[in-house]
Amino acid sequence: MLAILPPGRRAIFGQLLRFLVSGGIVTALGVGVYAVVALDLRWHPQLGNLLAYVTAVATGYLLHSRWSFRDHGGERSGGTLARFITVSLISLGLNSFWVWLLTEPFRLSPAWPIVPMLFVTPLVTFTLNRQWVFR
């Protein structure tokens, strides 16, 4: 099936598949930390989000730079790391927004932010990582 795709599309598809696997690991790790802190320990959901971010970003750069986008862009540098951290902070901001929006104004359970954390934020970070970080 991949053979019918033009080489450029094949490369994007490969990156997307690798991103889904490594991003899935990073996202699951982050959501797991969030769930333990916010749901099990019943600490403030934003603290859970912050601890999830710290945990996920610690593994994300390594996985994405060495595997997800290994064949995309040039040499990895301090600039690459700075852009990655910027995208990670955008991810933190998005997830903080989901936590705030769904637990404060909508007064939903702290479990609800997990939905956009799993489906919206990863799409944004894939696009930013591909187009800007690992260009």
The answer to whether 113 and 99 are in contact (CB under 8 A) is yes
pLDDT at 74: 62
Which residues, in sequence order, are CB contacts of 50 under 8 Å at separation 6+? 92
Q: What is the pTM of this model?
A: 0.79
Greater confidence (135 vs 2) lies with 135
Where in the chain are the domains? Answer: 11-133
Give the model confidence (pLDDT) of 2-42 as tens digits.
678 788 788 788 788 898 899 889 989 999 999 999 999 99
d(C-alpha 66, C-alpha 106), whole Å:
40
Report the distance separating Cα 119 and Cα 121, nearest Å.
6
Helices (H) and strands (E) in the chain, counts: 5, 0
Residue 108: how many CA atoms within 13 Å on its side-chain side? Answer: 11
Residues 83-117: tens digit of each pLDDT: 989 999 999 999 999 999 999 999 999 999 999 99
Please check whether residue 90 is in contact with residue 56, taking contact to mean a CB–CB distance below 8 angstroms. no
> What dihedral do alpha carbons 36, 37, 42, 45 form, nearest 10°?
-120
